[in-house]
Amino acid sequence: MKIVLLGYMASGKSSIGKELSKHLKMNFIDLDDYIIEKEKETITEIFNQKGEIYFRNIENKYLKEILSKQDDFILSLGGGTPCYANNMELINEKATISIYLQGNVSTVVERLISEKAKRPIIASLNDDKIPEFVAKHLFERRFYYEQAKIIIKIDAKTKTEIVNELALLLD
């Protein structure tokens, strides 16, 4: 089984993926961490030194590399992964299941403001500009996110509740 978790920045893809992998005793891969390991640079360094286009190219390359693995895994994507190249098509072709962790603008904005520094896409924005940016950005990206096979709402739910909901669903 190849499970892919997707959704906007700060929707909990990595932490839920990690927790779910313990629950299901499956291998866990975080695409951003995989990129950091392979490139030996942080995501911020890649964005700042080589630019977003370079990042989107290697993101596509490593996504393909992971999806072609024979063994089972839970893969957490970066927030933008489904929205570039033919990534969403590839995901739905190669993965057993794709799951969109869907949060409202207010849910992700609150989390993003406190974790802004490690996210190059929003790092230079003033806090008061973030809600409008996220609202527009989510509007553009939902077309891709909604191609996921399953949509799970995350608003007002704890990590444990979401993991249990997913575990039940995948049983």
Report the interface residues with ligand S3P, using CB under 6 A: 9, 13-14, 32, 43, 78-80, 119-121
Q: With respect to ligand S3P, which residue has the nearer C-beta, 101 or 168?
A: 101
Shortest gap between Cβ of 70 and ligand S3P (angstroms)? 25
Instruction: Return the residue nearest ligand S3P (CB atom).
Output: 78
Distance CA(40)–CA(46), nearest Å, equals: 10
Q: With respect to ligand S3P, which residue has the nearer C-beta, 80 or 103?
A: 80
Distance CA(142)–CA(91), nearest Å, equals: 16
Burial degree of 138 (CB within 10 A; 0-12, 13-18, 19+): buried
Contact present, 108 and 10 (Cβ < 8 Å)? yes
Shortest gap between Cβ of 48 and ligand S3P (angstroms)? 11
Q: With respect to ligand S3P, which residue has the nearer C-beta, 14 or 21?
A: 14
Shortest gap between Cβ of 146 and ligand S3P (angstroms)? 16
Q: Which of 10, 141, 134 is nearest to 76 (CA)?
A: 10
Shortest gap between Cβ of 170 and ligand S3P (angstroms)? 21
Shortest gap between Cβ of 171 and ligand S3P (angstroms)? 27
Q: With respect to ligand S3P, which residue has the nearer C-beta, 69 or 118?
A: 118
Residues 50-75 as b/e (b if ≥16 CB within 10 A, e otherwise) read: eeeeebbeebbebbeebbeeeeebbb
Q: With respect to ligand S3P, which residue has the nearer C-beta, 123 or 150?
A: 123
